[in-house]
Structure 1
Amino acid sequence: MTAFTRRSDSTRRSMPKPGSWLRDVVYVKSRQGQAGFAGFVRKMGVKKDAAVFLADLGKWFIRLIVLVVAFDALGLPAVSDVLRQLLLWLPNLIVAMVVLILGGLVAEAASSLVRGATAEAGFDNPERLAKLASVAVWAFAVVIAVNQIGVAATLVNTLFMGLVGALALALGLAFGLGGRETAAEIVKKWYEQGKQAAPKIAEAGDRLDAKVKDQAASLKPSPR
């Protein structure tokens, strides 16, 4: 009786407490809201809460395991093979969802960092730059997630490279058009400094030439 009681106590201690899993659920719900994952799920057309959506994924994962075992027991290997392939693909989907959640957190951090840095530096549009940083991080996370799932990975990679190229071209044009006057002033300043320094350089060259000639004359042997 004592051994049974001891085993029951150890089993009870190893089981998760209601408060702990409730705390974990609340934490996940709060973080997925901050990461923007809830909005991403809503844009996908899913009307459920993001935490409920993740819970449903786990539930269907367990159901598929049970169905594979059941169809194997019934002697239907064709159906069980299809379900097994789907079961092997689901972890990729879960990893992709985790990548999107982490991407949302990183996008939020990058947006706050860029907003604070640009506001401190005196930029006129810190909100636009912060939004641009967030979109860039989200695009990178989506590319990684799509590659993990394996759905049209080549097409998405091509589109992402095109987006990066267009962004670089837009930044180059913005700098070229917006900083044209500043660049002209810098070049003009360099030109004026060069004009002022040219006579001094020529004078120093003449002095050096005369000094070399004097040294050469002093080293020339005198006639006997």
Structure 2
Amino acid sequence: MDYQAFVTPLQNSLGSHIPQIIGAVIIFAVGWLIAVIARAATLRVLRMLGVNRRIEESTGSKVDAEHPVAIGVFWLIILGAVIAALNALDLASLSNPFSMLLSDILGYLPHLLAGLVLTLIAWLIATVLRAAVTRALQMTKMDDKLSSAAGMAPMSRNVGNVLFWLVMLLFLPAILGAFRLGGTLGPVQVMMTQALDMVPNIFAAALIAFVGYVVAKVLRGLVTNLLSAAGVDRLSQRFAGGAADVDATTPTATTTTTAAPPPPDSGSGVSLSRLAGTLVFILVLVPSLIAALDALRIEAISRPATLMLGKMLDAVPNIIAAVVIVLITWYVARFVATLLARLLESVGADTIPQRIGMGDAMSGNTRPSRLAHWAVMLFAMLFAVVEAADQLGFYQVRDVVTGFIRFGGDIILGGLILVIGYWLANMAYNAISRASGENTAGLASIARIAILGVVIAMGLRAMGIANEIVQLAFGLTLGAVAVAIALSFGLGGRESAGKLTEYWLNRWRRNRPDSPPDQP
């Protein structure tokens, strides 16, 4: 194949352009070398300035800004070298778009530099203010106290960071304007306008909240100290030691108790003065916080909070009335219960269980005076709880306690019936035994069992426990006894029953001390 036909025209056409090609290559090579040198120099300068480190200190996150800037400088010089090489080759159609791009970039450089300068100025101002505020707060003891009390990082660092970003936010519209970022600048300006409009409201809310906190704290200390000086804290000790009042009385027939000295105040009880101070603090601080929210014009939060506060304030009189009812009832009931217990002891009520044969079951803490004391306290407090629940609107609690009171009254009535029945059963047993002698001990036991059965049925009936079962059992028992008697005396066994009855009557007559002697 003959290559001369192809090579000869190519040499003829390129011969005149070889100097231009060599010049373009040299221009591009020199531009590439300059771009590499500029990239290295830019990266070195940025590292010497510590741009990445300073950005990390300001933002708290690692951001590599050095390499992107160096790469941008590199490609900017490469773009200029490409345009120069294309112009050397007389390729205007290819170099014009790149020339326009380079002119746009170079035309934007002043705005870029202005934006960077404003960013640097804002960063310097924010950094200086953050350092000054942080140092000022660290010099005071308030930072350490808040950190130790709240268990969190020092507040000086957080306040400094907030101030830093606030300054950067204030400079943000100017920075965006310098960068000619109009699409982003509009929303930012609107946001800054709204934020600046809220600054007076924020200061007003902060001032209201601070004043409310100070007033609430002062009132808490005042109320706590006044109530403590008035001796209100001793009420908690009386609540704890009120149960021992009945035990510290005169000796009874079964037990001997000695009044123990009251325990010293260990600080473990409820401090009523501190509790009242805390309630006053809450009642003052909560309206202050709601007023602060109103100053912020945040109705989505302030309106529900206002409604909640209104309900709380409306409930305060009822709560106070309920507390007063319970406290007054406690003291009055304790006084009456103690007086009743001592009265029962003085009249010898504690010796009654010994007389009726229930000394083992009703002694010590279950003696009559003690039971009467606790019964009075229990029912008085239950009535107080019913009234307090009605004041507070807890109607379900009121109904439950009312039912419990009714049931308790039935239990007490049934218990009294059982005690009286037991006493009557023992009295009947003793009377039959003394009147008939030892030969009729079985009859006395039958009488006692019968009385106890009737009394137990009456007691359970009074208590309201299984009324149908009690009625059925009692009816079946009486019916069985009646049927047995009818069968024994009415059918076929009349002669034997008559003889047995005659035998029992003769024995009873002989055992009577005033019976006449048997006739011969």
**Partners in 1 of 2:294 and 2:241 — Cα distance?**
37
Contact 1:38 1:49 in 2 (8 A): no
Please point out which of 291, 309, 315 is paired with 1:83. 309
Matched residue, 1:141: 384
Taking a change above 3 Å as real, the CA distance of residues 84 and 50 of structure 1, as seen in their structure-2 partners, is: same
Partners of 2:271 and 2:371 lie apart in 1 by 29
- 1:112 counterpart (338, 342, 357): 338
Per-residue CA deviation, residues 139-159 of structure 1 (Å, 9 max, x unaligned), is 222222222222xx2222222
Contact 2:389/2:397, CA 8 A, preserved across alignment: yes
SS at match of 2:349: coil
Greater Rg over alpha carbons, structure: 2
CA drift of 1:37 comes to 11
Structure 2 segments unaligned to the other structure (5+ residues): 1-221, 244-267, 351-366, 429-520
Partner residue in 2 for 1:191: none
Contact 2:237–2:269 (CA<8 Å) still a contact in 1? Answer: no
* 2:419 is the alignment partner of 1:178: yes
CA deviation map 1:5-37 (0-9, x unaligned):
xxxxxxxxxxxxx9xx65764421223432459
More helix per residue: 1
Secondary structure, aligned partner of 2:231: helix
Mapped pair 1:161 → 2:402:
yes
Task: State how far apart, in whole Å, the 2-side matches of 1:182 and 1:86 are.
Answer: 57
Q: Which amino acid aligns with 1:176?
A: I
Does the residue aligned with 1:105 lie in a helix, a strand or coil?
helix
> In the aligned structure 1, how far is the partner of 2:321 from the partner of 2:289?
23
- Structure 1's unaligned 5+ residue stretches are 1-17, 40-45, 187-224
Instruction: Report whether the alignment pairs 1:122 with 2:383.
Output: no
Partner Cα distance (1:95, 1:37) in 2:
25
Cα distance in 1, alignment partners of residues 241 and 295 from structure 2:
39
Query: Quick one: distance in 2 between partners of 1:80 and 1:37?
Result: 42
Answer whether contact 2:322 2:392 (CA < 8 A) is retained.
yes
1:3-14 pair list within 5 angstroms = none
Q: What SS does structure 2 have at the residue aligned with 1:141?
A: helix
Contact persistence 2:385–2:398 (CA under 8 A):
no
RMSD value, Cα = 3.4
Alignment partner, residue 12 of structure 1: none
Q: Is the 8 A contact 2:387 2:398 kept in 1?
A: no
Deviations 1:29-83 (A, max 9, x none): 22343245999xxxxxx97523312221122111123233333333334132222
The residue matched to 1:117 in structure 2 has which SS? helix
Q: What does residue 193 of structure 1 align with?
A: none
Q: What is the CA–CA distance in structure 2 between the aligned matches of 1:74 and 1:94, rounded to whole Å?
A: 33
Aligned length: 159
Q: Which has the higher contact order (CA 8 A, sep 6+)?
A: 1
Supply the distance in 2 between the matched residues of 1:155 and 1:68 (Cα, whole angstroms): 33
Normalising by the residue count of structure 1, what TM-score does the alignment of the two structures yield? 0.58
Contact 1:36 1:104 in 2 (8 A): no
CA distance in 1, matches of 2:407, 2:240: 25
- Cα deviations by residue, 1:158-180 (Å, 9 ceiling, x for unpaired): 22222222222222212222112
TM-score by length of 2: 0.27
Contact 1:35 1:101 in 2 (8 A): no
CA 1:29/1:106 → structure 2, altered by over 3 Å: closer, same or farther? same
In 2, Cα distance between equivalents of 1:142 and 1:29: 23
Is it true that 1:97 corresponds to 2:319 in the alignment? no
Aligned amino acid, residue 279 of structure 2: L
In structure 1, the residue matched to 2:289 is: 67
